[in-house]
Amino acid sequence: MPRGSHSYSIYRFHAALLVMVTLVPTAGDAQSTPTIPRVRSEDPLIAQLIADAPAMSATFRDLVTAIDATNGIVYVQSGLCGRGARACLAHSLQLAGPHRILWVVIRTRRDRPGLIGAIGHELHHALEILHDLDITTPQQMFFHFFGASTSVRNRFETTDAIDAGIRIEYEVRTATRATRDERQLSK
């Protein structure tokens, strides 16, 4: 199959899904087998941000821990959202065995604290969906946000997600400043 084709992408996704579902521990061996990361990215920049963020932001760390306790898997990828949004939770949800898979899309043209804050904001939205086990379709996602959020410039938004994004960006900026100050003092 040609590498750029839609069919190849679907094939790759299904192959990765099969490997992922195969690696999920059963209840009996959950203690001996490490759990799979539930927030992930194939984009090297985003994957590094996800790996670094918990050390800089307690709020981000708490979101990842909360998502790890659900049956969800959240992929964060680079891309463009509609209506000029810099990041979004794609209104797409896929079931893979016992797992619900969600996608966050983020435009990576901004500074590191802003990127991590935006990812955290969207992870909060993902967690809002994952907390409700009855949400298993994109339509149910839509109606969840339609009833639970306010419209900000024709987008669904929740106050808690806005607050989480702001708090995460602040925590990352503070940690970055502290690290920079420590380096200056050690010179």
pLDDT per residue over 143-164, tens digit each?
887 765 555 555 678 899 999 9
Range of the domain at 109: 38-186
| Same-domain status, 10 and 94 | no
Number of domains in the chain: 2
| Same-domain status, 18 and 55 | no
pLDDT per residue over 22-76, tens digit each?
444 444 444 544 578 999 999 999 999 999 999 999 999 999 999 999 999 999 9
| Same-domain status, 22 and 109 | no
The CA distance from 138 to 102, in Å, is 10
pLDDT per residue over 77-125, tens digit each?
999 988 778 899 988 899 999 999 999 999 998 899 999 999 999 999 9
| Same-domain status, 2 and 84 | no
pLDDT score, position 71:
95
| Same-domain status, 32 and 42 | no
| Same-domain status, 23 and 78 | no
User: Do the Cβ atoms of 93 and 148 come closer than 8 Å?
Assistant: no
| Helix or strand run (H / E) with residue 74 | strand 72-78
pTM: 0.76
pLDDT score, position 179:
76
The CA distance from 113 to 49, in Å, is 9
| Same-domain status, 90 and 3 | no
| Same-domain status, 78 and 166 | yes
Exposed, middle or buried by CB within 10 Å (0-12, 13-18, 19+), for 29?
exposed
| Same-domain status, 78 and 170 | yes
| Same-domain status, 15 and 93 | no
Using the predicted structure, report yes or no on whether residue 16 has a pLDDT greater than 70: no
Q: pLDDT higher for 10 or 180? A: 180
| Same-domain status, 57 and 143 | yes
Dihedrals phi, psi of 168, to nearest 5 degrees: -65, -45
Amino acid at 134: D
| Same-domain status, 25 and 46 | no
